[in-house]
Structure 1
Amino acid sequence: MRVLVTGAYGFIGAHIVAALVAAGHDVVCAVRGARLDTRFPGLDAIACDMARDLRSEDWLPRLAGIEAVVNCAGILRERGADSYAAVHEQAPLALFRACVQAGVRRVIQVSALGDPTDGEFIASKHRADAALAALELDWLVLRPSLVYSAHGSYGGSSLLRAQAGLPGLLPLPGRGAQPLQPIAAEDVGLAVVAALARPQVAREMLELVGPDTMSLRDYLLAWRRWLGFGHAYALAVPMPLVRLACALGEHLGNGPLGNTIGRMLERGNAGAADAVPRLRERLGLTPRSLPRALAEAPSHVQDRWHARLYFCLPLLRVSMALLWIGSGVVGWLTPATDVVAATHGSSLAAGSLLALARITASADLLLGALCLLRWRPHLVLGLMLAMLLGYTFGIGIAWPVHWLDPFGGLLKNLPLVAALALLLATEQRR
């Protein structure tokens, strides 16, 4: 079957694509920019933009030859044109209406488990579910609980894994009693494959949950054991502090810490009592428990690196940004006479030296601010690295005496080069 998958390169979408390919389906990835992902060699990719493709006419040409559609596009937070209304409702509804016009009967909507009153992330997903249910299609809505994988993580699953890996400490929102029914991403992929194989299972909603209801505390402890870390002191964090941290993350950050994850950390995320029996009855699927899924995929040193670096890398990025901003401020506040004195022996005129110092100070301020704002991070970090190398070797060649400065000014640049290289190497998010 030729299947169009939106959000195909996301955390859940990639697992669905992999499961469809393993089952012998011909997958077309609908992604922004139609970029080819080397993880899926040989698959077709077509361009789409869930923030702007809001008319059925935008989708009709993409449905030529398509026999089924799986929509798993989604955003954790709004940014610019990527709004919940557009990405979760308007664009999917335009796609669903185009399916009606093109005669593509089978549509699978990957939604989200939760209460719509918990926020717009879930509410917008559920409104799209309702709009799909009103169309003459063989639709099926799948609502997964917390999705994890032992083979990788993204967003909230990365945050929780890092929380489980903190040295000696396990912070728990409240007391960590929130109920969860986590499901493996691989089992979500199998659910989609099973749904395509059972076209008679249509016009209904299924909750994708794991077989066990467990507390958030037990979930984190299971990951800690899997990572191979020792005992940790459990620290109950008052919920008002958790809400404050999530609110700050929502407005000041761009990672998973925000209102969406905050609702889950406060209320948990579990399905109805009959969710697992219904999955067995309707799809023939029995999801694995978390202990079984982890036992089938032992952790490696790279998993421990990721868990421990998750919180360290943002601190490193912020410290680099502040260092560049501080360097720029000092560059502007240093008197002209001191600038000329520091470059004694240069063949450049005093005026040229001062202008060069002020220009580089301005560049430091700009790059530091952009780094703090995470604007085009690969470009900004690359420019910071180029400037640092220019400073180090330019000054080191023109004034080699500075290599012997009592406080090792130039020598300290060498670990900074390594730190910037580390930030560049770990910038990719998925």
Structure 2
Amino acid sequence: MALRLVTIFGGSGFIGRQIVQDLASMGVRVRVAVRDPQKAAFLKPLGDLGQIAPMKVNVADEQAVARAVEGADAVVNLIGILYESGRRTFQALHVDAPERIARLSKAAGVQRFVHMSALGADPQADAAYARAKAEGEAAVRRHIPEASILRPSVVFGSHDSFFNMFGAMTRLVPALPYYVKDAFRLVRDETTGRPAIDLGGSGGPRFQPVYVGDVSEATIKCLTSDAFAGQTFELGGPRAYTMREIMELVVEQTERRTWVVPVPFWVARIQAKVMGLLPKPLITPDQVKLLERDNVVTGTLPGFEALGIEPTAAEAILPTYMNRFRPHHRNVILRAPQ
């Protein structure tokens, strides 16, 4: 399918800017539906003059959403939050907004619809985030059965809020934590047969980080091909890491002497209750529930292979931006010999 105009909800975010840039490079006009068009103005230079147009849209406003999808060949919904704040609830943004966008897109005759969900979306999950993501998928399917749904694991890239957050922490704290259920327990040493204390456990929950460029490519393939209509894809990188391995990778990339230490989940729950009260919490009780389940592909749904995409390894991309957290980065002054 030849794309002329694509509307992207939430297009000023981390994943959105990549998709906007990739669509613009194809000559597609992009309408970016956002709360604040001024803050999305940085997207305009990614395309030709007038090619990328930020548009003020309140996703709770039926008329505003209808205007945003009017005349579009395709719609991409990227709206999502990691924690609730005021009116920005999981119900409002992960369930009601997708339902409204899908319903009005269908009424407007939109031919392609891609909905960005999350790996672990499950109506029976303990975490409200995962339950709401599953409800949002179902809401989209009710109105547009032929929609493509993408469920990525943790997405990384130069503007991510995952590796960048932990990289910044290495500048401020002496240790990076990983949450674990099976550490600090009495075990029997396999060599001596004597009792010993297992301090590290199995390394905590597993993640399958996926490169933002691969997620964008998957989105565009779903927008341009009939072959992927009506399918749900699990998107994970080529390797699964434990949380301990993620932290060790951060330390390696930042070249700092930061320790990586195990923290029991009961401590994480206490931390989350306190930090959850902050305006921008580092972790919330609901996120702790998410961490208690692995964030890796199940293998029961198609993934990158079905899309004809070879996922990019984190080790190939992290050096391109994690070097900003290394000691003395860009602070070395070179003087010509006297």
Q: Place the TM-score, normalised by the shorter chain, in its bin.
A: 0.7 to 0.9
Q: Secondary structure at the match of 2:303?
A: helix
Assess, with a 3 A threshold, how the Cα gap between structure 1 residues 238 and 137 changes in structure 2: closer, same or farther.
Answer: closer
SS in 2 for 1:95: helix
Contact preservation (8 Å) 2:23, 2:220: yes
Give the alignment partner of residue 249 of structure 2, picking from 208, 216, 222: 222
Partner of 2:277: helix, strand, or coil? helix
What percentage of aligned pairs have identical amino acids? 27
Aligned position for 2:175 = 169
CA distance in 2, matches of 1:185, 1:203: 22
Alpha-carbon distance change, 256 to 111 in structure 1, aligned in 2, over 3 angstroms: farther
> 1:166 Cα shift?
5.7
Q: Which protein, 1 or 2, shows the higher relative CO under an 8 Å CA cutoff with sep ≥ 6?
A: 2
Shift of 1:298: 5.6
Alpha-carbon spacing, 1:113–1:64, altered in 2? closer, same or farther (3 Å): same
Larger fraction in strand: 2
Q: Which of 291, 305, 325 pairs up with 1:280?
A: 305
Report the Cα distance in structure 1 between the residues aligned to 2:25 and 2:288, rounded to whole angstroms. Answer: 35
Task: Select the residue among 104, 118, 126 that pairs with 1:118.
Answer: 126
- 2 CA distance for matches of 1:118 and 1:26? 40
Larger C-alpha radius of gyration, 1 or 2?
1
Between the aligned partners of 2:171 and 2:290, the Cα distance in structure 1 is 19
Using the size of structure 2 for normalisation, the TM-score is 0.80
Which ranges in structure 2 are unaligned for 5 or more consecutive residues?
A: 181-199, 330-338
**Greater than 4 Å deviation, 4+ residue runs:** 163-168
Indicate the residue corresponding to 1:147 in structure 2.
155
100-109 vs 59-68, greater mean Cα deviation: 59-68
Residues of 1 paired with 2:173 and 2:36: CA distance?
40
- Whether the 8 Å CA contact 1:7–1:30 is kept in 2: the answer is yes
> What amino acid sits opposite 2:255 in the alignment?
G
Give the Cα–Cα distance (whole angstroms) in 1 for the partners of residues 289 and 26 of structure 2. 35
Q: Which amino acid aligns with 1:60?
A: A
| Rounded Cα–Cα distance in structure 2 between residues aligned with 1:157 and 1:118 | 25
**d(CA) in 1 for partners of 2:73 and 2:252?**
44
For the aligned residue pairs, the C-alpha RMSD in angstroms reads 2.4
Cα distance, 1:71 vs. partner? 0.2
Higher-helix-fraction structure: 1
User: What does residue 74 of structure 2 align with?
Assistant: 68
Show structure 1 runs of 5+ residues with no match.
Answer: 308-430
Give the count of matched residue pairs.
Answer: 296
Aligned to 2:41: 37
CA distance in 1, matches of 2:300, 2:313: 16
Map of 2:195 onto structure 1:
none
- Hey, what's the Cα distance between the residues in 2 that align with 1:133 and 1:106? 13
1:261 maps onto 2:287 in alignment: yes
CA distance in 2 between counterparts of 1:17 and 1:303 reads 27
Equivalent positions of 1:230-269 (< 5 A) are 230=257, 232-269=258-295
The whole-number CA distance in structure 2 between the counterparts of 1:95 and 1:102 is 10
1:206 is matched with which residue? Answer: 233
Distance in 1 between residues matched to 2:108 and 2:121, nearest whole Å: 33
Find 2:224's aligned residue among 191, 197, 206. 197
Which residue of structure 2 aligns with residue 100 of structure 1? Answer: 106
Q: Where does residue 84 of structure 1 map in the other structure?
A: 90
